[in-house]
């Protein structure tokens, strides 16, 4: 998240006395004490300027773990937390982040950027190396510099051992007390399984947990609860800070194993975990972005979803969208150049800023673009468009027209039954709603604590309150559950194959307009998406073969039909054209013996969109 230059860089410095460490927020991981560089004379010191919203900063935290261990008696790493967002100035939030990301070295909370300014820092992350005599000898911005830093530290150890200015011994580290026991610890994302239970990533405990329909009772845990990249049964498999979850058509679940830079496959029946994509190493500039799934490096995959017969990946670490194709066992870059910004346009030319949440509607793939505090959409036409958000430093909490509304570092987005989107507005501690039909942003709920994802469950939305270590159930408003024209009566349809037909007859004196391609279009989607095993998507034929999944239970079938007609008189040079459109939202329940045919009528009468017979219900 470099705000000064697009590429990581390093600078060796002349010997300059290191400014002292100062910050109004106080210290963490020191047992309540305060550290000074004067008191650290004789040690090599790496000062890491970071902020917990920044995935590149989190990469550096992980990179430093091995360096700290290998030089534990000569090196002290000091984190200086330098906030970007208002939420990050809260000391409790910084303390949460230190626990969430297992930061074990001392951390100075610097909410007013005092030490940041004294070191003339301009980018997140930045690292400064201080020698045992208290002089800054090098600075680095960006990630990936630990090998170079380690070479420098090794040189400093030799030089100052020879001079007698190197001090070995205990480090100033006192981790906080163990937290109160909770069922979950900083959960990340949630998925509702067809049986009605919930899967949630227990991120800090490196597990995936199945909860009962009450969203509280633990049924099973997948993973040993230790950092690692190990396949196998649930008691042996290991994850590392997993986040996103997506249901595959075969009933398996894809897990975005974020810090392992991998996609994992979890079989909910057996609990077996296997690796689908990634090598366990992070992507670096020059690495491939397309190729065999197990041979290409990923970079902090934060969320996943199923769309267009592939798994789509929010690749937060390199500000891109990728896909995993199970049929070809390959990954590919789909959108984003890798630069960090908010730029719309053709998918591969667009710029994202830490995409962290994904959701699918008939309008396309929606993206919670966290660092730009934006809601973006990749449409079926391959174009990226911004619905809400104005740039990397435009954030706040404001409802209203989308081009004026503000979010603050959203991490999740969820499709709602009426086609609108619920945004987990993480740093505003709120659940927001964006309605594409009206272009308005409203607030559904406040008082949450770092919501990071959500899932619809019947008439409720179940929200991940990450910093409260729980799932919270909220009732959806009536206008979300009962949009205008929605059919709330429940229709029992066949479990398995169902034929959907939309009947349309052009009005007298008009004909279908096929001059520019198909004159009709049929769009089918379901909530939850697992309601349909096949048949979703768009096409030109007004008939469609659907296959339902009875294990899902009740759901909503959304059908949108359009037909373009024009005047039929052959002697009219410029015939008038008309579009007839109708949307149905049908509450259905797949059952044995249910109707295997749905027939809907798109009226060809003027006033297109009315149902024949003045009834909105389907005939069976």
Co-location of 351 and 227 in the same domain:
yes
pLDDT at position 615: 27
Long-range contacts of 514-521 (CB under 8 A, 24+ apart): 515/566, 519/563, 519/564, 519/565, 520/561, 520/562, 520/563, 520/564, 521/560, 521/561, 521/562, 521/563
Co-location of 449 and 585 in the same domain:
no
Residue of 191 and 562 predicted with greater confidence? 191
Res. 61: pLDDT tops 90? yes
Average per-residue pLDDT in the chain?
90
Co-location of 24 and 89 in the same domain:
yes
Residue 183 lies in a domain: no
Task: Give the percent of the chain with pLDDT over 90.
Answer: 75
Co-location of 229 and 198 in the same domain:
yes
Main-chain dihedrals φ then ψ at residue 491, nearest 5 degrees:
-105, 125
Q: pLDDT by residue (tens digit) across 256-269?
A: 999 999 999 999 99
Domain end call among 114, 148, 163 = 163
**Over residues 420-448, mean pLDDT:** 95
CA quadruple 378, 386, 126, 80: dihedral positive or negative?
negative
Q: pLDDT by residue (tens digit) across 315-343?
A: 999 999 999 999 999 999 999 999 999 99
Domain end call among 430, 463, 481 = 481
Co-location of 369 and 476 in the same domain:
yes
Residue 255 lies in a domain: yes
Co-location of 463 and 493 in the same domain:
no
Co-location of 477 and 496 in the same domain:
no
Q: pLDDT by residue (tens digit) across 62-113?
A: 999 999 999 999 999 999 999 999 999 999 999 999 999 999 999 999 999 9
Residue 179 lies in a domain: no
The tokens for 54 are: 């920044």
Co-location of 295 and 437 in the same domain:
yes
**Minimum mean pLDDT range among 3-7, 17-21, 139-143, 225-229:** 3-7
| Chain centre to alpha carbon of residue 32 | 35
CA quadruple 254, 258, 263, 267: dihedral positive or negative?
negative
Q: pLDDT by residue (tens digit) across 12-47?
A: 556 789 999 998 889 999 988 899 999 999 999 999
Residue 181 lies in a domain: no
pLDDT at position 571: 60
pLDDT at position 483: 55
Residues 524/500, Cβ–Cβ less than 8 Å: yes
Residue 468 lies in a domain: yes
Residues 332/218, Cβ–Cβ less than 8 Å: no
Co-location of 413 and 327 in the same domain:
yes
Q: What residues make up the domain containing 559? A: 487-614
Co-location of 402 and 324 in the same domain:
yes
Q: pLDDT by residue (tens digit) across 545-594?
A: 999 998 888 888 888 888 888 876 666 555 666 778 788 888 889 999 99
Residue 118 lies in a domain: yes
**494, 532, 537 from 546: Cα distances, Å:** 10, 7, 11
Residue 271 lies in a domain: yes
For residue 54, give the CATH number of its domain.
Answer: 3.40.30.10
Domain end call among 481, 499, 533 = 481
Q: What angle do CA 45, 50, 54 make, to 5 degrees?
A: 150
Residue 1 lies in a domain: no
pLDDT at position 535: 93
Co-location of 120 and 223 in the same domain:
no
pLDDT at position 558: 83
Residue of 428 and 565 predicted with greater confidence? 428
For residue 452, give the CATH number of its domain.
Answer: 2.120.10.30
Res. 512: pLDDT tops 80? yes
Co-location of 432 and 289 in the same domain:
yes
Give me the number of domains the chain comprises.
3
């Amino acid at each position: 998240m470099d705000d000064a230059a697009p590429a990581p860089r390093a600078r060796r410095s002349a010997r300059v006395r290191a400014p002292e460490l100062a910050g109004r927020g106080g210290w963490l991981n020191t047992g309540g004490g305060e550290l000074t560089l004067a008191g650290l004379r004789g040690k090599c010191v790496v000062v890491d300027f970071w902020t917990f919203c920044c995935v590149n900063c989190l990469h550096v935290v992980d990179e430093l773990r091995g360096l700290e261990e290998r030089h534990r008696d000569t090196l002290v790493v000091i984190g200086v937390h330098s906030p970007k967002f208002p939420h990050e100035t809260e000391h409790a939030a910084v303390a949460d982040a230190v626990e969430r990301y297992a930061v074990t070295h001392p951390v100075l909370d610097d909410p007013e950027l005092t030490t940041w300014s004294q070191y003339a820092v301009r980018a997140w992350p930045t690292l400064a190396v201080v020698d045992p005599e208290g002089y800054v000898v090098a600075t680095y911005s960006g990630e990936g510099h630990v090998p170079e830093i380690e070479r420098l530290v090794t040189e400093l150890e030799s030089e100052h051992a020879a001079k007698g200015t190197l001090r070995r011994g205990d480090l100033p580290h006192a981790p906080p007390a163990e937290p109160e026991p909770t069922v979950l610890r900083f959960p990340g994302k949630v998925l509702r399984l067809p049986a009605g239970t919930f899967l949630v990533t227990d991120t800090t405990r490196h597990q995936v947990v199945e909860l009962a329909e009450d969203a509280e009772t633990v049924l099973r845990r997948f993973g040993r609860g230790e950092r690692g990249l190990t396949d196998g049964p649930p008691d042996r498999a290991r994850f590392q800070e997993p986040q996103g979850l997506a249901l595959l058509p075969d009933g398996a679940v894809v897990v975005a194993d974020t810090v392992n830079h991998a996609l994992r496959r979890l079989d909910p029946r057996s609990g077996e975990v296997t690796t689908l994509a990634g090598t366990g190493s992070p992507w670096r500039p020059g690495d491939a972005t397309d190729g065999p799934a197990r041979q290409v490096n990923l970079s902090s995959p934060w969320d996943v979803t199923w769309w267009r017969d592939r798994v789509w990946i929010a690749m937060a670490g390199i500000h891109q969208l990728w896909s995993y194709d199970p049929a070809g066992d390959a990954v590919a870059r789909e959108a984003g150049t890798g630069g960090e910004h908010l730029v719309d346009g053709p998918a591969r030319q667009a710029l994202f800023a830490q995409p962290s949440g994904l959701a699918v509607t008939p309008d396309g793939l929606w993206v919670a673009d966290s660092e730009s505090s934006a809601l973006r959409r990749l449409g079926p036409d391959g174009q990226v468009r911004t619905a809400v958000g104005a740039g990397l430093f435009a954030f706040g909490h404001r409802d209203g027209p989308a081009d004026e509304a503000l979010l603050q570092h959203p991490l999740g987005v969820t499709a709602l039954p009426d086609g609108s989107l619920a945004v987990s507005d993480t740093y505003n501690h709120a659940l927001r709603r964006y309605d594409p039909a009206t272009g308005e942003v409203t607030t559904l709920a406040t008082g949450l604590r770092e919501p990071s994802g959500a899932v619809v469950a019947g008439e409720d939305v179940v929200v991940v309150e990450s910093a409260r270590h729980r799932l919270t159930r909220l009732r959806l408003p009536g206008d979300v559950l009962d949009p205008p024209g929605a059919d709330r009566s429940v229709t029992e349809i066949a479990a398995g194959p169902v034929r959907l037909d939309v009947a349309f007859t052009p009005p007298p004196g008009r004909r279908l307009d096929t001059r520019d391609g198909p004159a009709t279009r049929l769009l089918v989607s379901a909530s939850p998406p697992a309601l349909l095993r096949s048949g979703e998507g768009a096409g030109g034929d007004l008939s469609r073969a659907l296959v339902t999944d009875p294990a899902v239970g009740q759901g909503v079938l959304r059908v949108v039909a359009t037909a373009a007609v024009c005047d039929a008189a052959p002697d009219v040079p410029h015939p008038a054209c008309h579009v007839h459109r109708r949307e149905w939202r049908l509450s259905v329940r797949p059952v044995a013996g249910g109707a295997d045919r749905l027939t809907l009528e798109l009226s060809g009468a003027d006033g297109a969109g009315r149902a024949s017979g003045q009834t909105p219900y389907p005939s069976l």
